[in-house]
């Protein structure tokens, strides 16, 4: 584990374990590299090198006052890849991290990348616009910012205990350990980064980015995702990619890498090895 300093002086924390082909993980909002614990250990055991960083303003990285946008997120990911001289990378992004991976590949090219995977990811575009009438109203994201500003701790607790992991569904068995770990990761980061990040993940249009990507990309999404609605995300992203493959789950939650790691890890491994 270590840190690097980006061009604007931001320190980015990262984990780097093992040898072999690198699997590079980009986490969701408002979490940290710790959200990938299960995947890191699994792919390490399969002979891969695993790398995961804390996005700026998140986790153990610098709580900067600005730069909370997809351009900076993509540039910070490039800084980690270049610093570690990673090549033939397998990039995995969950939720906001899927936007980060998409923008990184489009903005900085695929020279160091072999494949990608977008898990319940925010592309192509979450917010409703004239060109994206199926999106969510901007008022939904404005309300998220208002709740964060009013009581970030309570807001995070409720989000983790409810729709993020599907614990609000009939018959669901909430896990206090999972909720507490989500809350812990969120509260490690900075309120300003998380507040601005809501705009970054909801209002960035990745349509052109997806069209630029030529490497194989696995798009994983569940029809029961309560955070990033399925119909306006997974299928659209897969269709826009030149070499995209859509894997649809029916009843899994948005936070499926944590709640169903055996399913997700097996599908990722099969895709990487194919």
* Residue among 26, 32, 61, 95 flagged as catalytic: 95
* C-alpha atoms less than 13 angstroms from C-alpha of 27 in its C-beta half-sphere: 29
CB atoms within 10 A of CB 8: 13
Q: How far apart are CA 116 and CA 105, in angstroms?
A: 9
Q: Looking up tokens 């659209």, which residue turns up?
A: 236
Known catalytic residue at 95: yes
Q: Which of 225, 232, 233, 237 is catalytic?
A: 225
Q: Which strands, in side-by-side order, build the sheet including 113-119?
A: 2-5, 11-17, 49-53, 22-26, 89-94, 113-119, 217-222, 244-249
Whether residue 225 lies in the annotated active site: yes
| 3-state class (DSSP) for residue 148 | helix
Distance set, CA 53 to CA 8, 14, 41, 151 (Å):
17, 4, 15, 27
Instruction: Point out the residues that are catalytic.
Output: 95, 225, 254
């Amino acid at each position: 584990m270590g840190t690097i300093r980006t061009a604007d002086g931001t320190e980015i924390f990262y984990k780097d374990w093992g040898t072999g082909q690198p699997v590079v993980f980009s986490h969701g909002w408002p979490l940290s590299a710790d959200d990938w614990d299960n995947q890191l250990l699994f792919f390490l055991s399969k002979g891969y090198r695993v790398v995961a960083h804390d996005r700026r303003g998140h986790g153990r990285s610098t709580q900067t006052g600005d730069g909370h946008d997809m351009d900076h997120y993509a540039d910070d990911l490039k800084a980690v890849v270049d610093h570690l001289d990673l090549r033939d990378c397998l990039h995995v992004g969950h939720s906001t991290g899927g936007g980060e991976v998409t923008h990184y590949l489009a903005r900085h090219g695929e020279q160091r990348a072999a494949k990608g995977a977008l898990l319940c990811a925010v592309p192509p575009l979450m917010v409703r616009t004239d060109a994206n009438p199926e999106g969510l109203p901007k008022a939904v994201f404005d309300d998220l910012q208002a709740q964060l500003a009013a009581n970030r701790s309570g807001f995070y607790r409720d989000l983790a205990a409810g729709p993020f992991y599907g614990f609000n569904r009939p018959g669901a068995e909430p896990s206090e350990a999972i909720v507490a770990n989500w809350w812990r990761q969120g509260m490690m980061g900075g309120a300003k980064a998380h507040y601005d990040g809501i705009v970054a993940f909801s209002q960035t249009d990745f349509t052109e980015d997806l069209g630029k990507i030529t490497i194989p990309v696995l798009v994983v999404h569940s029809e029961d995702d309560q955070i990033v609605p399925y119909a306006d995300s997974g299928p659209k992203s897969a269709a826009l990619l030149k070499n995209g493959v859509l894997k649809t789950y029916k009843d899994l939650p948005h936070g499926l890498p944590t709640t169903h790691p055996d399913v997700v890890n097996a599908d990722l491994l099969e895709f990487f090895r194919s």
